[in-house]
Amino acid sequence: MNDLLPSWNDGAAKSRILDFVARATKPGGPDFVPPAERIATFDNDGTLWCEHPLQVQGFFLIDRVKELAAKDPGMAGRQPFKALLEHDLKTLHGLGRQALMELGFATHAGVTDEAFDTIASNWLATARHPKFARLFKTCTYRPQVELLDYLRRHAFKTYIVSGGGADFIRAVAEEAYGIPREQVIGSSVKLRFDAQNGRAGLMKLSELNSFDDRDVKPQNIALHIGRRPVLAFGNSDGDLAMLRYTTTGPGARLALLLHHDDDSREAAYDREFRLSPLAEALDKADEYGITVVSMKRDWNAVFADAGE
Amino acid sequence: MNDLLPSWNDGAAKSRILDFVARATKPGGPDFVPPAERIATFDNDGTLWCEHPLQVQGFFLIDRVKELAAKDPGMAGRQPFKALLEHDLKTLHGLGRQALMELGFATHAGVTDEAFDTIASNWLATARHPKFARLFKTCTYRPQVELLDYLRRHAFKTYIVSGGGADFIRAVAEEAYGIPREQVIGSSVKLRFDAQNGRAGLMKLSELNSFDDRDVKPQNIALHIGRRPVLAFGNSDGDLAMLRYTTTGPGARLALLLHHDDDSREAAYDREFRLSPLAEALDKADEYGITVVSMKRDWNAVFADAGE
């Protein structure tokens, strides 16, 4: 048999995936899912690419503050930028949620969506992960890229549903995962439509539109897709609502949760990781019918390429 | 030549459509648009199906109020329901915007998104247009159904971007236009995620999330699709921002505006139609590079089937 998931070790997780796809795609079978209904939603950070010790977008934010500070000398003396540039995390956290929002807006707004796409694309083309010694855009997980491809071969439509910024992920999703921009759902800022000098465009504003985490994930799935997924994959408590939303319903359903338990190849963390804790989802996985995937046990490869 | 737009008369509008598609799809040509970028966005009411004298969703709203009033005898005595049930449009308009919102929420919220889909689907299966003597779901325009199909044959991805409710349009878009639910962008209410008794779902709330009209159309296109369309089709001033957004940019672009000037076959209206006026877009079409389509002159058929 031609194994379409070569980076997945034989075991319960792989069996459940293969069984689910077989049932969902068997014409006339009791669990057959028509192709139009084959919606699969994936969290991004920590599910499709690494997020530890800091999300890729966090590294982007830091580099972008440095870049902006180089053009605006006063910035390095102002909070919250000062604390960030001085790696003073204690002060930064003490400044609270509003300060973090301000960092987000300063680095992700005040430009058009198309200008931001260029900024993010340029950064992703060259920026490297300090721990894994590879381009950030290759910090994707090989077993997941295989799974996305496997699902698409069976007429599933694959979506990203991420707490990260949709516009940031769109700059890399096609290349990294084969997922087109319109199948990326994520956090977003409000936009302003401008039509001046015969040119119309959209300015990214310093105002949150949607923070796509927890309950907001199923809400945004309904808003954007208008169908309940039949497969969902996450890795933190922020994905639990999406996973439960997916398991509710008739027929074949599959909810998966990646557990980062592989300190030698990537990282081992769960409930203590304050940026994206995994606790409730892990504790209640059995009760909610969620399949836990162990990076250490279920994957024979981690990253999508060999790195450098 | 096999004419894929048989309901379009030869003329400037049809020529521009054929020329645009030829240029956009010619490999190596100066205006070639890669398939992934072939995004075409269509307004719905008055562009893909009739909206005069009242939008289809308006008829749905009235029927739904009647249905709700039959179960809640007090409703017929309360405003704004009283005015609606008594066809007292003067009082209704006097109650203002908040009253109209209340009518919308009472008829489109307070149920799950999936329950609403059933309600809308059941209504659409049998409800008939009083003026055109046909099912509402066949009040679609044949030339537009042909155009959607023609574009998809050339690898365009066709979207609806409507001021109408996304959930309402989703109940009919696949059957009426071949447009899947996830390619419907429209107005929406906020949702609440509930997970009770082992079942997770989404409740439609009496709070506006997005009124998808005017500047909000390009904003929602950026939010949902993340690409600027290369073709857009509208019929009112509410579509002007989307049309201008579409014409801005390099390469092949086409913005179209349907003018309802056919009183014998459908209706003749523009700037006086208060529910969806067409004035600025008509006056400035030339300046903005928008092609005006005359229903009377450019279409040799109007409705998608013969009716009854």
- The interface predicted TM-score (ipTM) is 0.97
Write the residue in B114, B193, B199 that is nearest to A215 by C-beta: B193
User: DSSP for A221-233?
Assistant: HHHHT-S--SEEE
pLDDT at B308 over 80: no
pTM listed for this prediction: 0.97
Sign of the torsion formed by the C-alpha atoms of A238, A40, B223 and B36: positive
Rounded mean pLDDT of A71-76?
94
Rounded mean pLDDT of A19-28?
97
Note whether A222 contacts B202, CB cutoff 8 Å: yes
Residue B196, SS3 per DSSP: strand
The amino acid occupying position A301 is A
A-chain residues near B202 (CB < 8 A): 218-219, 222, 245
pLDDT at A3 over 90: no
Residue B236: CB partners within 8 Å, gap ≥ 6? B43, B46, B273, B276, B277, B278, B281
Q: Are A166 and B223 in contact (CB under 8 A)?
A: yes
pLDDT band at A121 (very low <50, low <70, confident <90, very high): very high
pLDDT at B187 over 80: yes
Note whether B202 contacts A191, CB cutoff 8 Å: no
B-chain residues near A226 (CB < 8 A): 113, 166-167, 170, 181-182, 184
Note whether B36 contacts A198, CB cutoff 8 Å: no
Write the residue in A202, A224, A228 that is nearest to B222 by C-beta: A202
User: Chain A contact for B195, CB < 8 A?
Assistant: yes
User: Chain B contact for A215, CB < 8 A?
Assistant: yes
Torsion of CA B77, B83, B87, B88, to 10 degrees: 130
In the 8-state DSSP scheme, what is residue B8?
A: B
- Here the tokens at position A91 are 């002060």
CA of B194, closest CA in chain A: separation in Å? 9
Note whether B202 contacts A225, CB cutoff 8 Å: no
Q: Look at residue A249 in the predicted model and tell me its pLDDT.
A: 85
Q: Look at residue B1 in the predicted model and tell me its pLDDT.
A: 47
User: Chain A contact for B284, CB < 8 A?
Assistant: no
Rounded mean pLDDT of A149-172?
98
CA of A267, closest CA in chain B: separation in Å? 32
Task: Count chain A–chain B contacts defined by CB atoms under 8 A.
Answer: 99
The closest of B157, B151, B52, B65 to B104, measured between CA atoms, is B65
pLDDT band at B304 (very low <50, low <70, confident <90, very high): confident
pLDDT digits (tens, 9 = 90+) for B42-99: 999 999 999 999 999 999 999 999 999 999 989 999 999 999 999 998 998 899 889 9
A-chain residues near B226 (CB < 8 A): 113, 166-167, 170, 181-182, 184
Q: Look at residue B116 in the predicted model and tell me its pLDDT.
A: 98
List the single residue in B with minimal CA-CA distance to A215: B193
Q: Are B186 and B56 in contact (CB under 8 A)?
A: no
pLDDT digits (tens, 9 = 90+) for B190-243: 999 999 888 899 999 999 999 999 999 999 999 999 999 999 999 999 999 999
CA of A93, closest CA in chain B: separation in Å? 30
Please report how many Cα atoms fall inside a 13 Å half-sphere around the Cα of residue A131, on the Cβ side.
14
User: Chain A contact for B137, CB < 8 A?
Assistant: no
User: DSSP for B43-112?
Assistant: --BTTTB--SSS-HHHHHHHHHHHHHHHH-GGGGGSTTHHHHHTT-HHHHHHTHHHHHHHHHHHHHSSSB
Interface test with B, best of A193, A203, A237 (most B CBs within 10 A): A193
Distance CA B59, CA B103 (A): 12
Rounded mean pLDDT of B143-149?
98
User: DSSP for A138-166?
Assistant: G-BBHHHHHHHHHHHHTTPEEEEEEEEEH
pLDDT digits (tens, 9 = 90+) for B231-287: 999 999 999 999 999 999 888 999 999 999 999 999 999 999 989 999 999 999 999
Distance CA A284, CA B123 (A): 41
Note whether A219 contacts B245, CB cutoff 8 Å: no
pLDDT at A1 over 50: no
User: Chain B contact for A289, CB < 8 A?
Assistant: no
Q: Between the ranges A139-148, B1-10, B83-92, where is the mean pLDDT highest?
A: A139-148
Interface test with A, best of B199, B212, B223 (most A CBs within 10 A): B223
Q: Look at residue A101 in the predicted model and tell me its pLDDT.
A: 93
Q: Look at residue B214 in the predicted model and tell me its pLDDT.
A: 98
Note whether B223 contacts A188, CB cutoff 8 Å: yes
With a pLDDT cut of 70, the percent of chain B lying above it is 98
